[in-house]
Structure 1
Amino acid sequence: MLIGGVPALDRHYSAVEGSWKVTDCSTAYGRLVVPHGNSEEPLYRWFHLKEAFSSRLLGQLLRDVGVSPRTNLSIADPFAGSGTTLLSGISACEINGYRANVFGVERNPFIWELSQAKLQARISGRSISDTFAADFEKIKKFHDDLKFDNFTVPGLSTLGNENYFPSDHMQDLLRIRYAIDAGASEATRSIFRVCLASCVESSSRLRRDGRALRYEASREPKPPWDSFVQRVAVTQGDLELTPPASSCGEVVLGDARRAASLATGREFDLILFSPPYPNNIDYTEIYKTEAWVLGCYGSDAEMKAQRQRTVRSHPSVRFSQEFAYLNSGFASAVQALIDPVISSVPVGDRYHEGRKEVIIGYADDMLSVLIECRRMISENGRLVFVVGNSLHGSGDGKYVIAADVIMGRLAELCGWRVAEVKVARMLKRRTGESPFLRESLVVLEPA
């Protein structure tokens, strides 16, 4: 039975998407909006990012959305994440006989290095495998030489908690990091650092469940060096299996809300991205241990600043209360779109203010991203974003944030046309509570 504000919001969302083509594409896309198959794919398997989509998604989209390849196909992802769009763009293009020029933007410094390393490896392929093997021998020697050194544990309290990280394991993680800094060449350093990052969780009694880090007292941490050697062997094999690419690309550390300026005037035939969903997950927090072990943050203040630079998709920190849409020519249209959602947040909810700020901030940020992407798209280009909707609150205070509908309407305001909403899957745990509890691919074209 529909309860609380859900039915009223369903009617609001239905009115907004009333003129759009909404299609059940679960057979084609249900397994592609999750990282299905990535754990078996060379390069993609280097680090498990639960939030990634499948390496096979982009190839399916190229067949479906009417992007016409030329000699070169330019592809952008302003939320590059682990680099799936960039890598799969190169592979899909080269399989079909043309070159890709890929461009990505990523805000999280650890995840940026992950995507950078994988992109570098995809372009260089086996041409750097000998260098990688030689550099590993240097790293091994430096690691042995540092055996009796005592390293200062980074300031994150989680890393200094011996229930989470045995002290000898933390020391060895730091020893490996310094050995990489000393022994790896510029061509391989980021790749080795990704190998190290992939060992951090297994070296601890912490488990990442997608929403938080959980302590498991019974978990037996693995020795970091043994795990690192295993990861290096997998990586070496992947490099040897990967032919050098004729394509090119880059991923920059920056803000998707400023993507056009970072792209320096370039235009793209396809923009594909999956932004953080408005579901209360703080990705800076989820991947903080890897970031601190790699030295991405030097203080709590640096990490806090990073959290506040991210998209306003969660209420874990107090974000800026400046909203660009209020000074735009379509402020009233944005307000009409989000007011019914805001009014559905229960007044008695202790997170009332934070949840309202998420709705407003998320809409404001996504509008900025869509405006930037409109500046970057070629005349006949397409933009596809993958996003999941979410149910919040409890009892009579439940409400749905239909991010696909909200973003589709925001796109219309800034020069896009919604060509199709491809519903990839319904969220089974919430079936029956709202038809908008779904994950979708929204296809846009220049209006």
Structure 2
Amino acid sequence: MTDFWATELTQTVRNSEKLVQRRTRAKDVADWLEEYADEGPTSSNQGAAKVPFQRWFHFKEAFSPKFVADVLASLPYRVNRCVDPFGGSGTTAMTCRMLGLKSTSIEVNPFLADLIEAKLVPVSAAGFCRRYERLISTLVINDIDTRLVSGMPPTLCEPGVAGRFVFASDGYRTIRAIVRRSKRWDADEARLLRVLLGSVLVANSNVTINGKGRRYRRSGSPKSAADLIASLDYAVDAAIADLSRFAGLPKGGHRVLRGDSRRMLSRVSEADVAVFSPPYPNSFDYTDVYNLELWMLGYLGSPADNAALRKGTFRSHVQTKWQQTSQRATSATLAKVVTALSQRRGELWNRNIPEMVGFYFDDLYTIFEHLRRILQSGHHAVVAIGDSQYAGVHIDVARILGECVAPLGFALVKSGAIRSMRASSQHGGKFDLSEHCLVFERA
């Protein structure tokens, strides 16, 4: 399938020029996207792997800055302020910063919230470089760096459990020592260092990460502390190059709200447009996906912290026992899907999937309830979202969401497939699921 916004990069730059008042800012956008790989799907971050700031952390779930720029340029009114209820890696916020627009991002995952803010807050490249070199050259491992935090999975450090572990002991100690030392730094610089250290954790571990969590590598051994430092040096060099290249960008009016978007949207008074990609109803638990960064970088300090974070996430997975709530989203298609799933409950890999699907659309309904207040009449919510399938039952997310939010005064005025997605192996692994771009207009 073709991209819904399948514009060439040169056209994206021209679109960006429509959104900015100063030619210098339009040049910034062109320079920023210079390394964009135009063949990459706009629904993913693949094409932005070498784009400044975007390259700081590999975030597979993100849509591209090209997508955001093209969406904003396609709107029939001038945009000054944008809201993204699912900030992720900060693509919407960073694109808005380049375009000179204000933005509000909401992110429940504290590591990802730091990633967004690190991209938005200017840091002196020279000062950060000096401080980093001093830290590494004087790094001393203390006893506290060798210990596991209470509640931390015992597999995180060698010897692990039954011979399985994520980090070799010297690598683990080095990571913890860097985190400990960084706490003495200025908050903005410490945040950036945590983000860059987080970007090299998986590559220097004994695991790979996918939507279902971490998997141990079949061969090879985890990297040493020296390997880790070499990787971090490379990440720091790239960040310093980006900070220096775009040092003239103003800080701008950007807010990052940390917490559950279903509640945090109450703190947003207005926006011209909402551009976001919520978790898909595919049972990926993103607390597990970012488990390494959350524990190793000090965002989690106890099992209670982990449980609280997981319960604050969207109800798009079954890894948590969700509290039963009354149904708020009504849709004839959703009712048929939940009934079909309930009838095949015995075939499902988890018996709670029918309820999870209902909860998921209730949560999206809550998001649109907030957006009804935040957006003016005639303004839009642009959603990148994907279908799912369980036991042969297709969840047509576009149709269901359109039916659910119609009573709130949102009309689906444009819909298109961004790309096709492969179903899970239990359903044959064929490309029979769609990823959509849905444009809703508030009445």
- TM-score exceeds 0.5: yes
Cα separation, partners in 2 of 1:24 and 1:224, compared to 1, 3 Å: closer
2:54 aligned with 1:44, yes or no? Answer: yes
Structure 1 vs Structure 2 CA RMSD: 2.5
Structure 2: how far apart are the matches of 1:340 and 1:436? 20
Question: 3-state DSSP class of the match of 1:103?
Answer: strand
Q: Could you say which residue in structure 1 is the equivalent of 2:27?
A: none
Q: Could you say which residue in structure 2 is the equivalent of 1:169?
A: 171
2:76 aligned with 1:66, yes or no? Answer: yes
| 2:381 corresponds to which of 376, 380, 383 | 383
Pairwise CA distance, 1:37:
2.0
Pairwise CA distance, 1:350:
5.1
Aligned length: 396
* Structure 2 unaligned blocks of 5 or more: 9-39
Q: Could you say which residue in structure 1 is the equivalent of 2:442?
A: 446
Question: 3-state DSSP class of the match of 1:268?
Answer: coil
Cα separation, partners in 2 of 1:181 and 1:141, compared to 1, 3 Å: farther
Report Cα offsets for 1:30-52 as digits up to 9, x if no partner. Answer: 81001132210111111111111
* Structure 1 unaligned blocks of 5 or more: 1-22, 94-98, 326-330
Pairwise CA distance, 1:437:
2.4
Structure 2: how far apart are the matches of 1:181 and 1:210? 31
Q: Could you say which residue in structure 2 is the equivalent of 1:200?
A: 201
Structure 2: how far apart are the matches of 1:244 and 1:189? 21
Structure 1: how far apart are the matches of 2:396 and 2:422? 16
2:387 aligned with 1:408, yes or no? Answer: no
Pairwise CA distance, 1:196:
0.9
Report Cα offsets for 1:383-422 as digits up to 9, x if no partner. Answer: 10000101222xxxx1111222222222212121111112
After TM superposition, the structure 1 = structure 2 runs for residues 35-434 of structure 1, keeping only pairs within 5 Å, are: 35-69=45-79, 73-91=80-98, 93=99, 99-120=100-121, 124=122, 128-143=124-139, 145-146=140-141, 150-154=145-149, 155-160=152-157, 161=160, 163-182=165-184, 184-222=185-223, 223-246=227-250, 247-263=252-268, 265=269, 267-323=270-326, 325=328, 334=330, 336-345=332-341, 346-349=344-347, 351=349, 353-393=351-391, 398-427=392-421
Cα separation, partners in 2 of 1:300 and 1:112, compared to 1, 3 Å: same
Report Cα offsets for 1:332-352 as digits up to 9, x if no partner. Answer: xx0534210011110323546
Give the residue type in structure 2 aligned to 1:214: R
Structure 1: how far apart are the matches of 2:179 and 2:278? 30
Give the residue type in structure 2 aligned to 1:419: V
Report Cα offsets for 1:199-250 as digits up to 9, x if no partner. Answer: 2112211011333211014134333222222211111111111133333201
Structure 1: how far apart are the matches of 2:129 and 2:3? 48
Structure 2: how far apart are the matches of 1:118 and 1:414? 34
Question: 3-state DSSP class of the match of 1:236?
Answer: helix
Cα separation, partners in 2 of 1:351 and 1:147, compared to 1, 3 Å: closer
Query: CA contact under 8 A between 1:33 and 1:57: conserved in structure 2?
Result: yes
Q: Could you say which residue in structure 2 is the equivalent of 1:20?
A: none
TM-score, length of structure 2 as denominator length: 0.83
Give the residue type in structure 2 aligned to 1:104: S
Pairwise CA distance, 1:194:
0.5
Query: CA contact under 8 A between 1:259 and 1:373: conserved in structure 2?
Result: no
